[in-house]
A and B are shown apart, each in its own frame.
Chain A
Amino acid sequence: MDIPVDIRLEMYDGMVRARYFEQRAHDLFMQGLVKGTTHLGLGQEAVAAGFAVAMRPGDMSYCTYRGHNHTLLRGAPMDALMGELMGRSNGICEGKGGSMHLTDISKGAMGSYAIVGAHLPVAAGAAWAAQLRGTDQVSVCFFGDGTTNIGAFHEAVNIAAVWDLPVIFVCENNLYMEYTAISEVIAVDHPAADRAAAYGLEGIIVDGNDADAVYEAAVAAYERARAGDGPSLIEALTYRHKGHSRADPGKYRPDEEVEEWLKRDPIDIYRERLLSLGVTEEILNEIEAKALAEVDAATEASKNAPPPDTAVLLTDVWADGGSSWRN
């Protein structure tokens, strides 16, 4: 596939924005300004960029607690995401969701789900609604390798296949589920692709650190979904640069493995590719500088934002805006 340069630059821009955003989130966590927890997708940006750029407005993304990249690249405002991580009043969920629950429905970022597997059936349901309502929306669900061992994965992929739902299941295989290697808890090599046959689906494996490869797989899956040909299950091979969450140093991973993957940084790979395709250094520098400025501005805005108004504690349990359970 010949990917147009503007698409390629959009993907590069997305990856760089996500990278800088999450690096800053990590720094802010270390400074105690982001509290609770963070699960960074550093190193996994190409998956987010390839799918987000291939998506249309109206398409729906469902992601996990490792969802900063996906939410940002669907177009959620960076300052409101940073504010949410920092628990400030400018947060996209008013500070009530936090890092694991970033959501921007207006942009099709349909939520970040922190119970492993929960969102696969939900994404299938959104696809079912698209099918019934006759829209041409596609629902995309991102999850990890470890998620393929929970019942909800199997239930959702099966029903989606049987009902020909316009949903794409994207397994970001980063080789680990928290501190345990996926290889220790599955009987096959590929947690998603090797299970696809059980649901009558093709086992698709892509290089998740190559934005172009991801983009091509995404486009093919969107076409299939929009043509009414049903779901796809795609396994993207990738790696998280940091630990599972928070300050996890990731010591359970062999040094050589980490080094190998750091050499295959999706952003470095893509930068070189763009240069080799004739994109100038200036253009790339400008993208990087703009992204950094955006992150700086988002950080400042969130640092300066007051803590959430205490009144929001008791809002939005019900449609009437409140949380009252008695008259």
Chain B
Amino acid sequence: MAELSYRDAVARGLAQEMERDERVVLIGEDVAKAGGVFKTTVGLYERFGPRRVRDTPISEEAITGMIMGAAMNGLRPVGELMFSDFLATCWDIVTNQIAKTRYMTGGQVELPLVIRTANGGGARFGGQHSQSLENWAMAVPGLKVVAPATPADVIGLMAAAIRDPDPVIVFEHKGLFANKDEVPDGEIVDTLGTARVLRRGDDVTIVALAAMVHTALDAARILGGLGISAEVIDLRSLVPLDTTTLLDSVAKTTRLATVEENPRLVGWGAEISSLVAEEAFWDLDGPIVRITTPHIPLPAAGELEDLAIPSVEQVVDAVKAMSG
């Protein structure tokens, strides 16, 4: 065990897989010599050389299109999009090309590729560099989607994503890069599509993802002091989705709240809610509650951004109200 930051975990996860499999390569803007604008790829260029770790022009369509082509021809490429907001500039390649190809070719084409991207708000970057876009990706058949909340999960899910035979988008949360945690030594390989119960509880299930996991955990601690026993589930993976862990928890607690950083409409929590309403309606003792950012772009000013993104107090208040 050693303490590792979420940021360094990205590089460790990538290095682990590059060491193991020489088909794994990394491209993106400033990922090589500069070690990434978020310093998430530091040391990889020095360790694996300029053939396998390569800076690209500012050309997101080329980055995503190239990893698609490379995946069609024997590599297991990882492409970095510096900010998830830039997915919009290459959404054709990601959704019409990468996501649909296996299906539309009757299974002839396999695309074992990974898109890594920095996601989420809290940094006062304003509306075009702060979005939580995992639900965009979740909506597209053919894309797998993970969003780790802890350093160990970054490594494990990165490895799983790289080894997976399908395209996976790994959303790394900007607000978590500096977070440190104990991480086991040696190889870490996780499983896509597995949620994790981070805190056991009996009264209410709180489901969260990425940075909101920490908000939910803080809220659960406070709720504990108020006599409300909250179970916190870190979803970790949106596609595939671990419905078993979710439904088992709701069956026990009979109440469900989601904590989402994305704007309200069609956030992943809506899918979770509909699933529980369809498959566990009779387990519920009250309405499902979704705590989300309002349906607005994120503002830049600190006071406004803090008000927009779900806070610990907001979660405590909402869960108190539904448990009362």
Contact = CB atoms under 8 A, between A and B. Distances in A.
Interface of A: 35-37, 84, 87-88, 91, 93, 95-101, 113-118, 146-147, 149-152, 177-180, 184-186, 252, 307-308, 310, 312-314, 317, 323, 325
Contact of A147 (B58, B86, B308): B58
A323 B293 CA distance: 12
A214 to B, nearest CB: 24
Interface string B290-307: 000011110111111001
B125 A98 contact: yes
Interface centre among B37, B125, B294, B301 (most CB of A within 10 A): B301
19 contacts: A37-B124, A87-B303, A88-B301, A95-B299, A96-B304, A97-B300, A98-B126, A98-B301, A115-B85, A117-B89, A151-B59, A177-B29, A178-B30, A178-B37, A179-B33, A184-B55, A308-B301, A310-B303, A325-B265
Contact of B301 (A117, A149, A307): A307
Given A96-B304, A308-B304, A323 B295 contact: yes
Contacts of B314: none
Interface of B: 29-30, 33-34, 37, 55-61, 85-86, 88-89, 123-129, 264-265, 294-297, 299-304, 307-308
Say whether chain A's binding surface is mostly helix, strand, loop, or mixed: loop
Nearest to B264: A325
Contacts of B85: 115
Contacts of B123: 36-37
Contacts of B59: 149-151
A84 B57 CA distance: 31
Nearest to B56: A185
Nearest to B128: A114
A279 to B, nearest CB: 40
Given A36-B125, A95-B301, A95-B304, A323 B58 contact: no
Nearest to B129: A114
B124 A87 contact: yes
Contact of B300 (A98, A118, A252, A323): A98
A35 B125 CA distance: 8
B86 A180 contact: no
Nearest to B29: A178
Contact of A36 (B30, B33, B300): B300
A87 B88 contact: no
Contacts of B37: 178-179
A185 B55 contact: yes
A312 B308 CA distance: 11
Given A150-B60, A185-B57, A310-B304, A252 B33 contact: yes
B86 A115 contact: yes
Contacts of A184: 55
B303 A317 contact: no
Contacts of A93: 300
B294 A314 contact: yes
B308 A101 contact: no
B295 A325 contact: yes
Given A185-B56, A314-B296, A100 B307 contact: no
B300 A95 contact: yes
Nearest to B123: A36
A117 B58 CA distance: 9
Nearest to A115: B128
A303 to B, nearest CB: 14
A149 B57 CA distance: 6
A233 B61 CA distance: 23
A323 B30 CA distance: 37
Given A36-B126, A100-B125, A149-B59, 10 more contacts: A95-B299, A95-B304, A97-B126, A97-B300, A114-B129, A177-B58, A179-B37, A185-B55, A313-B294, A313-B307
Contacts of B125: 36-37, 98, 100
Contacts of B264: 325
Contacts of B295: 317, 323, 325
Contacts of B302: 35, 87, 307
A245 to B, nearest CB: 9
Contacts of A152: 89
Nearest to B82: A178
Closest 3 CB pairs of A and B: A98-B300, A36-B124, A87-B301
Nearest to B308: A313
A147 B308 CA distance: 32
A193 to B, nearest CB: 17
Contacts of B89: 115, 117-118, 150, 152
A96 B298 CA distance: 8
A87 B306 CA distance: 12
B60 A35 contact: no
Nearest to A245: B37
A185 B124 CA distance: 30
Contacts of A35: 124, 302
Contacts of A307: 301-303
Contacts of B129: 37, 100, 114
A36 to B, nearest CB: 3
A312 B125 CA distance: 17
Nearest to B59: A149
A91 B300 CA distance: 11
A151 B29 contact: no
A101 B85 CA distance: 15
A96 B29 CA distance: 28
Contacts of B127: 96-97, 101
Nearest to A113: B128
Contacts of B308: 313
A317 B58 contact: no
